[in-house]
Amino acid sequence: MNEHAPLVLVVDDEPAQRAMLTYNLESEGYRTVCAGDGEEALLAVSEQGPDIILLDWMLPRLSGIEVCRQLKSRNATRAIPVIMVSARTEEEDRVRGLETGADDYVVKPYSMNELLARLRANLRRARPAQVGQVLEFEGIVLDGETHKVTRDGKLLKLGPTEFRLLSTFMEKPSRVWSREQLLDRVWGRDIYVDTRTVDVHIGRLRKALGQHGGEDPIRTVRGAGYALG
Amino acid sequence: MNEHAPLVLVVDDEPAQRAMLTYNLESEGYRTVCAGDGEEALLAVSEQGPDIILLDWMLPRLSGIEVCRQLKSRNATRAIPVIMVSARTEEEDRVRGLETGADDYVVKPYSMNELLARLRANLRRARPAQVGQVLEFEGIVLDGETHKVTRDGKLLKLGPTEFRLLSTFMEKPSRVWSREQLLDRVWGRDIYVDTRTVDVHIGRLRKALGQHGGEDPIRTVRGAGYALG
DNA sequence: TGGATGTGTCATAAAACATTGACAAAAACG
DNA sequence: CGTTTTTGTCAATGTTTTATGACACATCCA
């Protein structure tokens, strides 16, 4: 199994469902981890740091909707895409699902094809911290597994948002990202934050990158956004 | 109404639907334009250049899926986000919708809230019509993704307006652009600026292009405008 | 719980860029 | 040629965009 395959957290209370899903996901090359109820799910999120979450609506102990709400209210987990899975087709549920911040919504019965398509779409959108991958740019080394960043061998101290911001930049150095795109990838979908907030965090990232000296590697592209190098 | 509000193209064959949608969209501050069938839709796209498209699945003449396929197969329109709207809940359709390149999918009946949430998310994602294209002309290389311009390998420094001006020229080298056309493309529609401003910026672009030496590649066409080469 | 750390917003400062009018230079045209 | 029209450049001024520091509030972790 590829070390860098995306890790999917499957949350469902029915063991048969979980087995079916993990089987299919793994034969598509994903890595998986399971949880049987809401509390297990939250635990798994903080311990495993999945790249994406398949979340059943009906769960013992903590409902799927509540799990989602909690995930989306924390900075550390906000950016992880959540796909809600539900047997209920009522439109009201879809709305509630999306309003708690779910990134997508799938109604049972769904085909594996549909699920995989949505999975791919959501992963494509929001995968800044390529799990396990080590990115490098002009002496800056970002390790997605240990969450450590060094510059010219010296360890840098940076907060979670700065880390995600930097890893977005490093995924494609010298590509210009608009503030909106950065909000989408670093902060997450449907989050209402002023675009100027990006400026502030860029400033913080610059300070963090320069804490042991060195040129500022972040380029301001007036009227367009920011880029690395 | 804000001139720069996103323009939403609403494609639906039922007038009542269209009215409902435009009413709601406009009270949210969007500008709207409508089409009643697939061919009208394609026409509206090329004439109005909407920022995003709400596309009903079932349409007379040209089905929504076909419209989407055509839009996504042309460079000029590929970047416009398309949200498919359908009454059909069959999952197979959802998959087909996403596979033709639709950016999102909404099933009727949907709530306005859901629709607006998806609209916002998709607009934000695709916003700066990233022309990730690299244009080249006589040693001048313009990269739309990194916003960098080099001449004979040497990086040039140019401001936002100079960048847009140059990229307009490079789209079709040796074509002559009138001052009015340049104002339209570089400055934007309905903006009131003296045509003399164009001269000044041409001057700046010339200086910028010559900052490391080299011939002036911009040709003045007296009485007509300017061209590259 | 409580201290440390991180985050979003605002006000303000600073920088970058755009516009315009004046005038000089160049081209067109009789 | 001299006149008229068009274009190039400059400097002054105005506008927009970005940077930064301070602060309140939320979150994390022991």
**pLDDT (tens digit per residue) in B55-76:** 988 888 888 888 888 887 776 7
CA dihedral B86, B88, B89, B91 (to 10 degrees): -90
pLDDT at B31 (0 to 100): 85
Q: Under an 8 A CB cutoff, do B111 and A89 touch? A: no
Q: Residue A198 and residue A227: Cα distance in Å, rounded? A: 13
Cβ distance A54 to A8 under 8 Å? yes
What A190-198 contacts at long range (C-beta under 8 Å, 24+ apart), as own/partner pairs, is A190/A98, A190/A101, A190/B117, A190/B120, A190/B121, A191/A78, A191/A101, A198/A226
Q: Under an 8 A CB cutoff, do B145 and A183 touch? A: no
Q: How far is CA A165 from CA A23, A228, B68, in A?
A: 34, 11, 33
Question: Tell me, in Å, how far CA of A200 is from C1' of D23?
Answer: 14
C-alpha closest to that of A178 among B131, B196, B224: B131
* A76 Cβ within 7 A of any nucleic strand D atom: yes
Cβ distance A114 to B97 under 8 Å? no
**pLDDT (tens digit per residue) in A107-155:** 776 778 778 877 887 776 666 555 567 889 999 999 887 888 999 999 9
H or E element at residue B64: helix B64-73
Q: Residue B140 and residue A91: Cα distance in Å, rounded? A: 54
Percent of chain A whose predicted confidence (pLDDT) is above 70: 87
* A206 Cβ within 7 A of any nucleic strand D atom: yes
pLDDT at B205 (0 to 100): 92
Cβ distance B155 to B149 under 8 Å? yes
User: For the whole prediction, is pTM greater than 0.95?
Assistant: no
Most confident of A52-61, A116-125, A210-219: A210-219
A87 touches chain B (CB under 8 A): no
A178 → closest Cβ in B113, B114, B127: B127
3-state secondary structure of A26: helix
C-alpha closest to that of B103 among B74, B78, B70: B78
Q: Please tell me the distance in Å from A122's CA to the nearest CA on chain B.
A: 11
The nucleotide minimizing the C1' distance to residue A207's CA is: D20
Tokens standing for residue B7: 């323009």
Q: How confident is the model at residue B189 (pLDDT cuts 50, 70, 90)?
A: low
